[in-house]
Every structure is written in C-alpha cells, then in structure tokens.
C-alpha cells in the first residue's frame, strides 16, 4: 500500500467510525446546534450571533437528506474534520513526503475532535478553509505569485464566514512578515486583501443593515471593553484545557518547538499557531476564554507536530502521543454513546426533546412564547414536525437579546402559552396561576422548574 492509499484509508476509517458514533448516540442537539438548524431553514448573509456558513451547511445537509434528524444536522462535522486532515496532510506531504500520514494522524487524534465530530460547531466549519488559506499563503510566499495570494485571501474570507476567528489568518500574515523569508511581495498581499474583502463584504453589509448585531454580540461574548482584571485561575483553567484539545504529549512537543531551531516552514507553522494561543490566554487572564476559543491555532499546530516527528523519525513519541489521546477519545466516545453512565457530565445533552414534547402537548396547538433563548431553540427544533406550531419570543422592548427577538417576535394581539422559570406572573397587577409546571430530575433541565402560563393577547 502506498502512502496516499494509506492516508485515504486512515481518514476514511476514522471518519466512518465518527459517523457511526453520530448514528448511535441518543443525545439531543445542544441548543446552540438547534439554533443553527433554525437559521439553516432560511438563507441569509448573517445571523444574530454568528456568521452564516454553519447555517448554510446544516441547511444543505438536511435538505439533501430530506431529514432534520440530529444525525443529518451534525453529519458535516466529521466530514469537515476529515477534509481538514487531508488538506494538512497533502500540504505537509509536499514538504516531506512521509509527513502526510503522520500529520493526518496527529490532527485526527486530537481529543477535542471527538467532541467536534459529534456536535457541529463553527470551529469545525472554519477548520478546512483556514487550513487551506494557510497553505495557499505559504505557496504565495514560495512562488511570489499573486494568484496564490488571492486564493489565500478568498479562503480566509470563507473561514471568517464560518467563524470570525478565521481572521487570525491576518495575524499570521502580519507576524510572519518580520521574517524576511516569510515576507510577501506587495502584489500577493494586495490580491489577498482584495479577495478577502470581496468574500466577506456581503456579511459586513448584512451587519451594517442589522445594527452590527453579530459583531456586537461577538464583542459582548468576549467581554471586550470590560476593563482589565487579572484572573489567574481563569488563565490556568484555560491552559489546562488546551492539553485536552491537542493532547498532552503533542501539546508539549508543539510548545517546546518554540525554543528549538527550525526550518522556514516550521517557523511559519509556529507563527500560525502560538500567537493565537498567547492572545486567547491573555483574554482568559483579563476577561474570559472558553477552551475552544484558540482552536484556530490547532490545524497549524498539528501540522507542525506531525512534520517534526516525521522528519526526526520519532516513531515512539508519535505512538505515545497517539496512545494517550486514544484513551481520552475512547472515554469520551463511550459517554457520547452511553450518556447515562455519567449523567453529571452528559445531562446538558439529554432530555431536551422529552421536556419540549411535554410543553407542546400541554400547549395543545397554542402559540408558545418565552424569553429564554435555550427554551426557544429547543422548542423550535422539537416542533419541526408540527407545521402549525408557533414558537415566539415574548414581547420585548429595546435591543434584541437573541435571534428569536428578530425572527419570531410575539405580536401584541397574540394569546400565547408562556414558558418561563418564574414561579409567579402578573398581568396588569393581577396574578396569573400557572396551568402546568415541569421539573425534570434528569437531563438538561434537571434542577430547574419550567412554568406554563396562559397569557391573553392583552397581557405582555
């Protein structure tokens, strides 16, 4: 078997296994995923909290399959990670032929991908386009051709349409320019900028037309502008979480490469990864940062680790890293397929459809309203097979709190069944008794009481 056949066999087998896990898991969509699915029912150049590509992908897979099941909502996740592995492998294989299989193995064995191939997220959709953009920019640096610069800019633009973190591409371009061997010719840089701006222009225009809602939400989510406050605990928690992202052995190899002498391609891969980690770590120290916020660093990090191990022939180190990661992957996979084994870890991904089914049954065909994005997302997905069900955001004044305020506001003349966490509710000073309450003891809504009130059209 030649190297290329082995590469495609590896990626194919891993992707098939991850598709099998998707078919076997009894978990519900997380409410973010349910919201992405709702977005995918209508084409737009932007949505409330994210750029549009994830919605387009989910809308495409569910339309082609003719099904809105959780499997078809998520099916693109393992496919996109498989594509990312192939892109990185092809790139590194052209630099050092044996590296292709090693790089694919390192990337596919990142523990975070067991989650990223089960739940669909913007990181997953961004990954292949960011990897391809970095490769194209490398070709622009090698050949000094503007065409590769234009391709890199367009691919970086598509990455941004998946997640705004795709703009880290420009951080790489800027820092790399401090090394003479990684400095682009002006025409390649100009072509990249032009192609990038053309690609993202429709989303920027959509944001302007909608009060910059997505950009504002992104800034709020990151707590930008909230002032500096040192949170050592938050920083340590973030850094510890990164060992799960790429795996502890590979994390040490990646960051340890900073202190060693390296070739031009290794310098480029370090520049494309380490500054992103540093920037997000600083955010973890001064505001907050989730474990996945530095994911844009890891395609290049995996490529660097695989390339260095291949060049130096460190087969035992590769196998050690893969072995540690495999243990983590198997542990998480067992929980995905059998979430009841550790409900404290998995409850947030179960029981949603059952609770929403109860609410729909109690409402008996009435429009249902809520303030809560989580409830609205879960209800909208649960009601997908009931074409007559109306899921509405409760009347709200001021800036929209979430997408449902923009897309499905309650009319002032609509009587609704209100779903809320409030144990009491008043209308015009008169207390309204709940017609039902739900208090699940398992699943995502365990420990919370949901109350249903009938609100006449005169009651906001």
According to the 3-state scheme, what is the secondary structure of the chain? CCHHHHHHHHHHHHHHHHHHHHHHCCCCCCHHHHHHHHHCCCCCCCCCCCCCHHHHHHHHHHHHHCCCCHHHHHCHHHHHHHHHHHHHHHHHHHHCCCHHHHHHHHHHCCCHHHHHCCCCCHHHHHHHHHHHHHHHHHHHHHHCCHHHHHHHHHHHHHHHHHCHHHHHHHHHHHHHCCCHHHCCCHHHHHHHHHHHHHHHHHHHHHHHHCCCHHHHHHHHHCCCCCCCCCCHHHHHHHHHHHHHHHCHHHHHHHHHHHHCCCCHHHHHHHHCCHHHHHHHHHHHHHCCCCHHHHHHHHHHHHHHHHHHHHHHCCHHHHHHHHHHHHHHHHHHHHHHHCHHHCHHHHHHHCCHHHHHHHHHHHHCCCCEEECCHHHHHHHHHHCCCCCCCCEEECCCCCCCCCHHHHHCECCCCCCEEEEECCCCEEECCEEECCCEEECCCCCCCCCCCEEEEEECCCCC
pTM recorded for the entire structure: 0.94
State mean pLDDT over 120-136: 99
Band of residue 196 on the pLDDT scale cut at 50, 70, 90: very high
Residue % of the chain over a pLDDT of 90: 81
Does residue 227 carry a pLDDT above 80? no
Q: Which residue has the higher pLDDT, 143 or 220?
A: 143
Compute the mean pLDDT over every residue in the chain, rounded to the nearest whole number.
93
Does residue 69 carry a pLDDT above 90? yes
State mean pLDDT over 329-345: 96
Band of residue 213 on the pLDDT scale cut at 50, 70, 90: confident
Question: Which range, of 4-8, 241-245, 335-339, 428-432, averages the lowest pLDDT?
Answer: 428-432
Domain ranges of the chain: 3-342, 351-455
User: So what's the pLDDT on residue 225?
Assistant: 52
pLDDT digits (tens, 9 = 90+) for 23-54: 999 999 999 999 999 999 999 999 988 999 99
pLDDT digits (tens, 9 = 90+) for 387-414: 678 999 987 777 788 888 888 888 877 8
User: So what's the pLDDT on residue 4?
Assistant: 86
């Amino acid at each position: 078997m030649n190297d290329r056949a082995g590469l495609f066999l590896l990626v194919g087998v891993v992707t098939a296994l991850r598709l099998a896990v998707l078919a076997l898991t009894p978990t519900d969509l997380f409410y973010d995923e349910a919201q992405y699915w709702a977005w995918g029912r209508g084409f737009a150049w932007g949505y409330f909290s994210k750029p549009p590509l994830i919605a387009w992908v989910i809308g495409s897979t569910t339309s082609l399959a003719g099904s809105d099941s959780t499997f078809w909502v998520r099916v693109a996740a393992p496919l996109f990670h498989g594509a990312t592995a192939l892109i990185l492998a092809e790139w590194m294989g052209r630099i050092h032929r044996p590296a292709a299989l090693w790089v694919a193995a390192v990337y596919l064995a990142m523990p975070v991908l067991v989650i990223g191939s089960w739940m669909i997220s913007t990181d997953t959709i961004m990954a292949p386009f960011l990897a391809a953009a970095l490769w194209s920019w490398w070709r622009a640096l090698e050949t000094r051709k503007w065409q590769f610069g234009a391709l890199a800019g367009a691919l970086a633009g598509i990455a941004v349409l998946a997640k705004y973190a795709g703009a880290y591409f420009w951080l790489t371009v800027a820092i790399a320019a401090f090394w003479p061997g990684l400095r682009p010719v002006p025409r390649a840089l100009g072509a990249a900028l032009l192609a990038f701006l053309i690609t993202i222009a429709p989303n920027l225009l959509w944001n302007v037309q909608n009060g910059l809602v997505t950009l504002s939400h992104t800034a709020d989510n990151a707590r930008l502008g909230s002032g500096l406050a040192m949170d050592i605990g938050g920083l340590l928690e973030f850094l510890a979480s990164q060992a799960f992202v790429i795996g502890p052995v590979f994390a040490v190899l990646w960051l340890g490469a900073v202190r060693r002498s390296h070739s031009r391609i290794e310098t480029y891969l370090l520049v494309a990864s380490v500054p992103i980690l540093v920037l997000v770590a600083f955010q973890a120290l001064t505001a907050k940062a989730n474990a996945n916020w530095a994911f844009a660093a890891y395609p290049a990090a995996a490529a660097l680790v695989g390339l260095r191990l291949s060049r130096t022939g460190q087969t035992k180190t590769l196998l050690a890293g893969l072995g540690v990661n495999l243990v983590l992957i198997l542990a998480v996979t067992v929980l995905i397929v059998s979430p009841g084994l550790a409900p404290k870890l998995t409850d947030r991904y179960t029981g949603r459809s059952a609770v929403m089914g109860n609410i729909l049954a109690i409402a008996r065909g009435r429009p249902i309203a809520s303030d809560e994005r989580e409830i609205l997302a879960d209800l909208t997905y649960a009601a997908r097979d009931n074409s007559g069900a109306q899921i509405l955001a409760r009347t709200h004044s001021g800036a929209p709190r979430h997408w449902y305020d923009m897309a499905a506001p309650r009319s002032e003349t609509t009587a609704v069944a209100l779903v809320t966490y409030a144990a009491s509710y008043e209308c015009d000073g008169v207390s309204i008794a709940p017609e039902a309450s739900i208090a699940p003891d398992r699943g995502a809504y365990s420990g919370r009481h949901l109350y249903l009130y009938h609100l006449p059209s005169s009651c906001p």
